[in-house]
Chain A
Amino acid sequence: MKNNSNITKGPRYINPYFGGVLLGLLLLATFYIAGRGLSASGAAKLSVVTVVDKIAPAHAEGNAYYDKFIPTDGSSPLFNWLIFGAIGTFFGGMLSGGIYGRLKKLRIEHSPNITGKTRMIAAVVGGMLFGIGSQFGRGCSSGAALSGTAALSFGGLLVMAFMFGIGYVFAYFFRKLWI
Chain B
Amino acid sequence: MNKNYLFLAILMIILAGGLLILPERTNYTQINPEDLLWDIIQPSRYVTTDQVAKMLIEQDPTLELIDVRCAKEYNKFALPNAINIPLDSILSPNYSDYLGIEDMNAVFYCNDDILADQAWVIAKRMDISRIYIMKGGLNCWIKTIIQPTPPPETASGDEFDQYDFRKGASMYFTGASISAPKSDSKSQVTIKRKKKTTATAGGC
Contact = CB atoms under 8 A, between A and B. Distances in A.
In the complex, A touching B, CB below 8 Å?
yes
Interface of A: 17, 34-37, 39-42, 45, 82, 134, 138-140, 142-144, 147-148
Interface in B177-203: 199-200, 202-203
Given A45-B204, A139-B203, 8 more contacts: A17-B5, A36-B202, A36-B203, A40-B204, A42-B203, A138-B203, A143-B203, A147-B203
A39 B8 contact: no
- Interface on chain B toward A: helix, strand, loop, or mixed SS? loop
Contact of B200 (A35, A140, A143): A35
Interface residues on B, range: under 10
Contact of A138 (B5, B199, B200, B204): B204
Given A17-B5, A17-B8, A34 B204 contact: no
Contacts of B202: 36, 42
B199 A35 contact: yes
B7 to A, nearest CB: 12
A17 to B, nearest CB: 7
Interface string B1-33: 000010010000000000000000000000000
Contacts of B203: 36-37, 39, 42, 138-139, 143-144, 147-148
Contacts of A35: 199-200
27 contacts: A17-B5, A17-B8, A34-B200, A35-B199, A35-B200, A36-B200, A36-B202, A37-B203, A39-B203, A39-B204, A40-B204, A41-B204, A42-B203, A42-B204, A45-B204, A82-B204, A134-B204, A138-B204, A139-B203, A139-B204, A140-B204, A142-B204, A143-B203, A143-B204, A144-B203, A144-B204, A147-B203
